Structure formats: C-alpha cells, structure tokens
Amino acid sequence: MRQAIVVGGGVMGCLSALELLQRGWQVTLLEAGETGREASWAAGGLVTPLYPWHYCTAISALANWSQRAYPQLAASLAEATGIDPELTACGLMWLDAEERDLALDWAQRNERDLQALEQPELYSRVAQLAPGFSGALWQADLANLRNPRMMQALRARLRQFAGFELQEHCPVSSLLVEQGRCVGVRSGPQTFTADAVVLAAGAWSAGLLQPLGVELPVEPVKGQMLLYKMPPGWLECMVMYDGRYAIPRRDGHIVVGSTLEYSGFDKTTDDQALATLKTAAERMLPALAGIEPVMQWAGLRPGSPDGVPWIGELPQVQGLWLNCGHFRNGLVLAPASCHLLAALMDGQPAELDAAPYNPATRGIGSAA
C-alpha cells in the first residue's frame, strides 16, 4: 500500500489527506500546532473569490469546480461525523460596485447568475443597510461555510480511517532527500518516511523548501477580522463594500473582514485594524455601531504573486508534491486543488487541467 506524508493540517493538508485515503493510500499528517487552527480557522468562510471577475482562468476553474463540490462535501462530512460545516447558500451583495459593467460582462460570458439591483430592491432585500447606497450586484447562489467547524469535521473524518495517522505539535524541521527523491521528513529527533510527501504548509511552505535550494515565492500575509453577535437571522445574506465584507452565521454571529498586511509571521492584532474594520462594518450595517465586537483575531494567508497555487510534483525533487500558494482563496479552491493533487499522485486522469498549476513551469527559482 502506498504511503504519503502530508505536511500541514489546514484545509489543503486535510483535504489532500482525505482524497488520498479514499484512493487507498496510507497517510500520516504532520501539523506543527493543532489541526485547522491557522489560516483555515481564521478565514471568513466565503466560498467565492471576493471579486470573481478580477481573477484569471486558472483560479476561476478551481473556484467553479469547488463551488459545485462543496454541497456534497459538507453534507458527507456532517453525515459521517455529526459535525455540520454549516454551508449556507445565502447569497452575496456587492454594494455600489464600481465595476458593474465589467462584472455583468464576466457573468454573461461565464453563465453566472449575477444581477444588478437598483436602490429600492436592495433595501427590500437587506433592510439593515446604511442609507445612501445607490445600487448593488447580487448573486443568490453564493455560499459561506463555518470554517472552524469545517476543520473540526475534516479532522474527525480523517481519524475514522484505519490508514490515517495524525501527529499534532509535530513541526517538520527538514525534508529528507536521497538521490534526488524526497523519502520523508524530520521533526526534531523523529524521522517519518513514505513513498511521497505533500507540502501543504500554507505560509510556512517556502521555508521548508529553502534548504533544498528551492525558492518558492510564498509569504505570510496577515488578515485581521472582527466578530459581532446579533440575533439569528438578523442579516440574511453576505454584503460587501469597498473591499470589506460581513458574513452572517446561522446563530447570528457576523464575521467582518479583512485587512491585508505584509508583516512577516506576526499574528498580533492592533487597535488600528480594529478601528478600520469597525468603521467598515458600521458603514454597511449602522446597527453595529452600538455593539462591541466579541472577538478580534488574525491569520496568515499563504501569499503568492498572482494567487495561482502550485499543485503538482516539484521538478527538482521527485516524490515531493506541492499544494500551496492559494493566497486569499484557500477555502474557496480547496476541494478542486486537493482532488487534482490526488489524481496526479495516483497517476489517474483529472477532471481539471493541471497545466496552469504545474511547479515545473511556474515561477520557482533556485535559492542563492
């Protein structure tokens, strides 16, 4: 039986592991901290790029496939584990979208049900909006999921497989390479060996490759978030204005985000971001002005130059597979990315074209 080591316990690592297990592999997952507690926990949970008309075909292909896959994935996880990821197709409203014509043209070309709303209709849909918005773009079928619960469900599902081993608080210190092939990893005094190693360590992926002389342009990009609590059903859909969003959960919590900060591996929160996000929340939903956020947090996205991930075998090192660099769209792109990776590792035809993500042809240099 083929054996794989997956480095990283976020959504990419966990879904990669699940895909491989379902194909008959044995999988050991190594996570430096706790499973699902980094970027996958910190994200807002949108199952769409923030402005999908901005993205290239490579990202759109992964997003479209994932959006189709998520309902079955969420339902199967809930059934198998009893933990509901709370995938909710509540729709998304872009307020006063300056790129209305561009967005509508994109929607027509890609057969997406994006509509333009004028002022009376947008307030009839979302009465809580601040006055003064002149119009909006609306897509009714877009969803969000409660990503911390998604990660809890994935962890529980993985542990149901006899061929799965989870090692938490087990940071990988180095990759083991013999005669040009990755044969395992080291974590402190421990050595783990396998037929293949999957690097899905998010913002930490590049650091593990540097000792091999491989320069992967992935860096941490901090995003700070706020959480409010309102009665269930108070906000029925997601709203976005000027790059900020408000996402309702089923129990009335509302997630507001997000900042975009290049500050290394620093995950501290600060008052400036708090003020900026509160202002954005109150500009969209003025009733939040009288309510203190119940939580502020930050996560580190795996930033990459164009947001297109690397998915496939590293050409410099056989047996070392990448699934990283998804930037702001990790949760959005995860089902497609992990399905594609597993198909490539299994030597089977994939439903997606692998070429746009191939590490052999995309922007990986040699470390000086």
| 49-83 pLDDT per residue, tens | 999 999 999 999 999 999 999 999 999 999 999 99
Share of the chain above pLDDT 70, in %: 99
**219-229 and 26-30 as β-strands: parallel, antiparallel, unpaired?**
unpaired
Count Cβ atoms below 10 Å from residue 361 Cβ, excluding itself. Answer: 11
- For domain 219-303, give the fold: D-Amino Acid Oxidase; Chain A, domain 2 (3.30.9)
| 192-209 pLDDT per residue, tens | 999 999 999 999 999 999
Alpha helical stretches, state H, 222-316: 271-284
224 φ/ψ angles, rounded to the nearest 5 degrees: -100, 145
Contact indicator for 226, 296 with CB cutoff of 8 Å: yes
- Asked whether the whole model's pTM tops 0.75, one would answer yes
CATH 3.50.50.60 residue ranges of the chain are 3-72+148-217+305-366
pLDDT of 256 above 90: yes
Average predicted confidence (pLDDT) for the chain: 96
206 φ/ψ angles, rounded to the nearest 5 degrees: -60, -40
pLDDT at 87: 98
| 283-308 pLDDT per residue, tens | 999 999 989 999 999 999 999 999 99
| Region 133-159 average pLDDT | 97
CATH 3.30.9.10 residue ranges of the chain are 219-303
What CATH architecture does domain 3-72+148-217+305-366 belong to? 3-Layer(bba) Sandwich (3.50)
pLDDT at 366: 60
pLDDT of 29 above 60: yes
pLDDT of 261 above 60: yes
Share of the chain above pLDDT 90, in %: 96
Closest CA relative to residue 314, chosen from 217, 220, 218, 216: 216
pLDDT of 98 above 80: yes
